[in-house]
Structure 1
Amino acid sequence: MKKIIIIGAGGYGRELLQWVKDINEYKPTWIIAGFIDDDLDSLEGIDCDYPIIGRLSDWEPKEDEEFALAIGNPKTKEKIVKIMKDKNAVFANVIHPTATLTKFSKYGEGLVMFPQSKLSVNSQVGDFVTILSSGIGHDVQIGDYTTISGLCSVLRNVRIGKRVFLASNVAVAQDIVVEDDAYLGIGSVVIKNVPAGAKVFGNPARVMPI
């Protein structure tokens, strides 16, 4: 059984720790080693039963270690993955036992799925995608490093590019295309295609000046 180390000791990291514990309770999978974070004081004054065991910038991955990425910002995810991959790090898929997938759901490396998340039939997500208790409909494609925050709804045949961030409670209508590096603000209802790098907010969602 390999060790698992969580990258990032903020609130997201502590949530991810709980989901790893839930996975281990359902089926023993990893030995939890703790966190790595360049801010060694991240857990100061916070109740947590696992420590920060080192700095991300200094860590040298070992053969008996896997890593879970507790970072929400897509560009930061990509940067950290490159650093760790250059050191031959291996990333785990952390899929909560209550998450729903089908045998026709496809996903890459480093997937994180929080409780009650859903990835429906013939949908495909790339590497290092994060789905935080949200529903992904059938025949959806999601690019690498994208983050889907809590309580989002992505309907059928949607195409989401790389490094896209969906804030909480975003709804994306069927057949919509969201291009790379877009940002969909909290509560947005997206009924038109979103250009690359755009920031959209509102109901219906509108592009805002960057």
Structure 2
Amino acid sequence: MKDLIIVGAGGFGRELLQWIKDINKVNKTWTIKGFIDDNSNALADLQCDYEVIGSIKKWEPNYNEVYACAIANPGIKENIVALLKSKGASFESIIHPKAIIGDHNRIGEGLIAYPNSCITANVVIGDFVTLLSSGIGHDAKVGDYSTISSYCDITGGVKIGKRVFLGSHVTIVPGRKIGDDAFLGAGSVVVTHIKEKTKVMGNPAKKILF
């Protein structure tokens, strides 16, 4: 059985720890070793079953270790994954038992799927996508390193680029395209295509500067 290390000891990391423990309750899959984080005090004054066992920058992977990525920011996620993979790290997909994964989907490496998340039919999911408790409709596509927060509605045929961040309660109407590195603020209702590197918010979603 492989040793599992969670990359990132923030709130996302502690949530991911719970989902890993839930998976182990159903089928003992990993031996959890703890977190790596460049902030050694990330868990200070917090109740947690495991500790920060080292920094990300200095960590040297062991042959029996696998990793789960708990970094929400898409750009930072990509950089950290690249760093660890350059040292030989291997990443796991963490799919909660209460996630729904339909047939005939293509799913990349390192998916994180929270409880009550849903990937329906003929969906393409890139590498290191983070899917909180949200649904992805038929024929949609989500690019590498994108993060979809909870209670989002990604409807049929939507195309989401690489390194896109969706805040909670985002709705994207069918067939819309979201460019690489876009940021969709919480509660946005997207009715048009969104260009790359654009930040939007509102109903209907409009470009914002911040």
Aligned residues: 210
Which residue does 1:156 correspond to in 2? 156
2-side partners of 1:66 and 1:197: how far apart?
Answer: 32
TM alignment of 1:1-210, pairs within 5 A:
1-209=1-209
Matches of 1:10 and 1:197, distance apart in 2: 26
Shift of 1:169: 0.5
Q: Which runs of 4+ in 1 moved over 3 A?
A: none
User: What is the identity, as a one-letter code, of the residue corresponding to 2:38?
Assistant: D
**1:92-127 CA distance string (max 9 Å, x none):** 000000000022121111100001000011001100
Letter aligned with residue 149 of structure 2: S
Give identity over the alignment, percent.
50
What is the CA distance between 1:209 and its match in structure 2? 3.1
Offset of 1:15 from its aligned partner? Answer: 0.2
How does the TM-score come out when normalised to structure 1?
A: 0.99
Secondary structure of 1:156's aligned partner: coil
Show CA shifts across 1:109-148 (max 9, x none): 1100001000011001100000000000010001000000
CA apart distance, 1:83: 0.4
**Aligned partners of 1:63, 1:97: CA distance in 2, in Å?**
27
Q: Determine if contact 2:103/2:120 at 8 Å carries over to the other structure.
A: no
Distance 2:59 2:208 in 1: 40
Distance in 2 separating the partners of 1:94 and 1:63? 20
Cα distance in 2 between the residues matched to 1:100 and 1:106: 14
Q: Which structure 2 residue ranges, 5 or more long, are not aligned?
A: none
The TM-score, its normalising length taken from structure 2, stands at 0.99
Instruction: Select between 144-153 and 100-109 the one with higher mean Cα deviation.
Output: 100-109
Q: Partners in 1 of 2:43 and 2:187 — Cα distance? A: 30
Unaligned runs of 5+ residues in structure 1 are none
Given that 2:127 and 2:144 are in contact with CA atoms closer than 8 Å, whether structure 1 keeps it comes out as yes
- Superposed CA RMSD in Å reads 0.7
